[in-house]
Amino acid sequence: MLFSSRPCLLALGAAVLALIPGCATDTIKDTNPVIPAATTTAQLRPGDSLTIALQGVPDPSTNTVQIDDQGLITLPFIGPHPAAGVSTANLSTHIRETYIAKKIYNTVDVSVSVTERYVYVGGEVAKPGRIIWTPDLTVTKAVQAAGGFSLYAKEGKVTLVRDQHAYELNARLAQQNPAQDPRLMPGDSLQVPRSAF
């Protein structure tokens, strides 16, 4: 039985056109998601570098320390001390109270200041690792600081992790429109996935 060729061709053409949008890869969205501000910007995090000055004691000292993965710092005479999850003011108070409670000093003035904070960039970038945070650091600036995207980077599916929540961003959109390039906060993590092609 013969079919009319014209209706068959029209139906075939419509079917092919219906499939074409499914073949498109990483179309640029109109906007990236709005990412809430970090809830713990005033709190210290693992990786933060600190300067801790001890004054009003026989041997005043300034100690440069970094908060380790367990959230601890190590200070003279008191050893490991918790530091992550509190403000610099609270940490100063805790250190002072520890020195006095352990009868190392009768009185001591403690000042804590943050010298460096970091964000982390991993996956398909030239130099994955931590980047020093600055107040103007954005997603695209962090990727540039990590050496740029690798050849196989899936730029339209970058994941930003903040406060244990993940947000998918299109870095190509951020490059084209600075208003769509979110600012990063200390402790943020970017992960650039590998493209299937």
* Interval 28-51: pLDDT, tens: 547 877 777 765 567 898 889 999
Residue bearing the bigger pLDDT, 163 or 158: 158
Measured from the Cβ of residue 24, the count of other Cβ atoms closer than 10 Å reads: 7
- The candidate with the shortest Cα–Cα distance to 178, out of 53, 31, 74, 48, is 31
Specify the pairing of strand 189-192 against strand 118-123.
Answer: parallel
Asked if the model's pLDDT at residue 54 lies above 90, the reply is yes
Query: Can you give the residue ranges of every domain in the chain?
Result: 49-116, 117-192
The residue assigned the tokens 């590998």 is 194
Chosen CATH of 117-192 out of 3.50.50.60, 3.30.43.10, 3.10.560.10, 3.30.950.10: 3.10.560.10
Q: Which two tokens stand for residue 137?
A: 């650091």
CATH superfamily of 49-116: wza like domain (3.30.1950.10)
The pLDDT score that the predictor gives to residue 5 is 55
Asked if the model's pLDDT at residue 93 lies above 80, the reply is yes
The tens digit of pLDDT for each residue in 108-142 reads 999 999 998 999 999 999 999 999 999 999 999 99
| Whether this model's pTM surpasses 0.75 | no
